[in-house]
Amino acid sequence: MQKPFPSTILYGADYNPEQWPESVWQEDMRLMKVARVNIVTINVFSWALLELAPDEYTFGQLDRIMEMLAEHGIAADLATATATPPTWMSRMYPDMWPVTRDGKRLSYGSRQHYCPNSHDYRRKAGALVRRLAERYREHPALAMWHVNNEYGDHVKACYCDGCAVAFRRWLMARYTWLPELNDAWSTSFWSQRYFDWEDVMPPRLTPAGNNPGQMLDYQRFMSDSLLECYRLEANVLREVTPAIPITTNFIVAFKPVDYFSWARHIDVISFDLYPRNTTPPWENAFRHDLMRSLKNGQPHLVMEQTPGQLNWMEQNPHKRPGRIRLQSLQAVAHGADGVLYFQWRQSQGGAEKFHSAIVPHEGSERGRIFRQAAQPGAELERIAPDVVGSRIRAEVAIVMDWHNWWAVEYLPGPSDRLRYLEQVKRWYAALHGLNVAIDIVAPEHDLSQYRVVIAPLLYMLKAGVAQNLERYVTAGGTLLTTFFSGIVDEHDRVTLGGYPGELRKLLGIYVEEFDPWTEGMSNEVIIADEPLRGKYACDLWGEVVHLEGARALGVFARDYYAHGPALTVNRSGEGRAYYVATQVSDELASKLARMLCQQAGVELLMEVAEGVEVTRRARSDGRKVYFILNHNDSPAPVTLPQGRFTSLLDGLDFSEQLVIAGRDALILLEK
């Protein structure tokens, strides 16, 4: 049986002592205590140090590292080391080298150079993981397993012959017999019919556009192939160490891997957070909310963030003073119960030697970055007893679907300007500005707990999704969806009988034509009634919409569909379904989001100045913890809700009004 995990807020870093002489390790332990580190991720890239030749394992160094951590009361997030096979293995099994779409084999000499469907890779990875699990099963330092590292990061898909065989097997399980596959992929088009499973190929480079159904299934297959790699390891770990939680570090909203389908196989969701300095705070908030939502609000972890500069952007400016702390506290504000960095000690050589670390090349605790990383360490330790395990309760959700993402962005027409994640993020930003809690959910998720649901650009409706949305609205929910929704089924085949297909009745509209605009084309939405009354810019997309029961709240100002509906609402059962037929300005999106939330009775946590973010976590005893984060450089006034509060960071009492300094955070427990 697993115990609740974690029992305190985790704070730490990727730790790579194998890059250093052992004389440095003791100094690391001292410095970790100064920074209040309580967990480190180790062994991520150590396969070559653990298996020196086929089946010749050596664990002496890892034993010493684990011992040292245990002695110092620092927990190990022990990685399985399978992200980078040793050089001898790459030489022995050249079939393991991944192949790109245009047929190039990728060599070793960096990392992640394996095909996820390689039998040799999987066999050797499984064997290594069993050795590790059996060796450290009782070790006092072992707190969590860290499977592999950032699945799919460098090799998003492989197109080798081994993958072709595995793809056919995957398709056979999905379609059982060939006519079904032909039907799903619409192979009557362009003479693409299959007469033998052997003829089915990965969607390699072709003279003209690939079959969209095949492309889509390949994305699914690749996400599943990586998941199989993960599960192969996780199954071994669960068998040998059933009480130790398992994680693998995700890469935020990462298109190649459908994290919704992975989440149930993972005990603790963790992810790597690498914003640019220009990334707005709401975008980091979106990333946290997505991760937290993957397991229905169970606290997640930031597995990696950088304490200073990165090394893999075109230019890598430092994080400005105060940002590390604010970003760390923002993670906790959005439901995380742990924040770790990449990495502890800055490498002397290798491709990441200019990636910052808590301990810089200079080697001491005297520098700005170390001191700035140590501050949240102390603060998280202080707030942990009052915060760990508490939950965010959202009344608003945004629907996001990886399959829709894959389909909408592999479209031979009608527009290459459609970016699914951008649409999701636009609506997230509009809601975030209201300081409401937001979940990000899959379209088949039970929506009954939400007052407002926004499902942007839901081009693909998989089986059952339309009915799920209908159930939600008729029971009293408020739904908003946007242009180019309800167009195709799960095989990317158009739903006949008029757009928006299965949503036509729910939305009470018929879309006769959609009109993707080129750069520079635009229009306006005119709204006659309050509270949205006004004229708003719109771009990207227009539509010819006919009302079939819905009411037009806004109309297009110009073009051949001038006066035609641009924003509609339809009553259905106890609820309402809104439709936006274009990409509206941020201003209109924000006002709409506010109107929907107010009408639906969503609790807005606090009205604060722009750039100030407010979240709330609820503890199991019912008491609430408010997080107020000022992302601005200048101070901002805050009016607190009714009641008295204790600041968990400094013990001071607050009520009614206060002023929060620029780049500062307040964490207030309701009395």
Residues near ligand GAL, by CB under 6 A: 149-150, 153, 272, 274, 304, 306, 310, 342, 352, 355
Minimum distance, C-beta of residue 318 to ligand GAL, in the bound complex (Å): 14
- Closer to ligand GAL by CB, 272 or 543: give it: 272
- Closer to ligand GAL by CB, 57 or 354: give it: 354
- Closer to ligand GAL by CB, 41 or 582: give it: 41
Minimum distance, C-beta of residue 272 to ligand GAL, in the bound complex (Å): 5
What residues pair up with 460 in beta bridges, in sequence order? 488
Write the CA distances from 627 to 61, 378, 505, integer angstroms: 42, 17, 42
Separation of alpha carbons 370 and 358, rounded Å:
5
- Closer to ligand GAL by CB, 351 or 475: give it: 351
| Helical packing angle, 281-294 and 323-333, nearest 10° | 40
| Torsion sign over Cα 488, 493, 494, 497 | negative
Query: Is 304 a catalytic site residue?
Result: yes
Judged by phi (left if over 0) then psi (alpha if -120 to 50, else beta), residue 55 lies in: left
Catalytic residue among 18, 51, 56, 150: 150
Q: Are 307 and 372 in contact (CB under 8 A)?
A: yes
Minimum distance, C-beta of residue 24 to ligand GAL, in the bound complex (Å): 20
Minimum distance, C-beta of residue 15 to ligand GAL, in the bound complex (Å): 12
Minimum distance, C-beta of residue 230 to ligand GAL, in the bound complex (Å): 15
Minimum distance, C-beta of residue 90 to ligand GAL, in the bound complex (Å): 19
Instruction: For residue 500, say if its preceding peptide bond is cis, omega within 30 degrees of 0.
Output: yes
What residues pair up with 534 in beta bridges, in sequence order? 527
3-state DSSP of 37-100: CCEEEECCCCHHHHEEECCEECCHHHHHHHHHHHHCCCEEEEECCCCCCCHHHHHHCHHHCCEC
Query: Is 239 a catalytic site residue?
Result: no
Separation of alpha carbons 449 and 397, rounded Å:
9
Q: Are 130 and 236 in contact (CB under 8 A)?
A: yes
- Closer to ligand GAL by CB, 282 or 342: give it: 342
Separation of alpha carbons 618 and 275, rounded Å:
27
Catalytic residue among 51, 233, 304, 613: 304
Q: Are 425 and 479 in contact (CB under 8 A)?
A: no
Structure tokens at 96: 């393991």
Q: Which one-letter amino acid corresponds to residue 360?
A: P
- Closer to ligand GAL by CB, 146 or 591: give it: 146
Give the distance, in angstroms, between the CA of residue 608 and the centroid of all CA atoms in the same chain: 27
What residues pair up with 670 in beta bridges, in sequence order? 645
Minimum distance, C-beta of residue 312 to ligand GAL, in the bound complex (Å): 6
Separation of alpha carbons 120 and 92, rounded Å:
10
Minimum distance, C-beta of residue 480 to ligand GAL, in the bound complex (Å): 35
Separation of alpha carbons 319 and 275, rounded Å:
10
Residues 6+ apart with CB under 8 A from 114: 85, 96, 97, 98, 121, 155
Residues designated catalytic: 150, 304
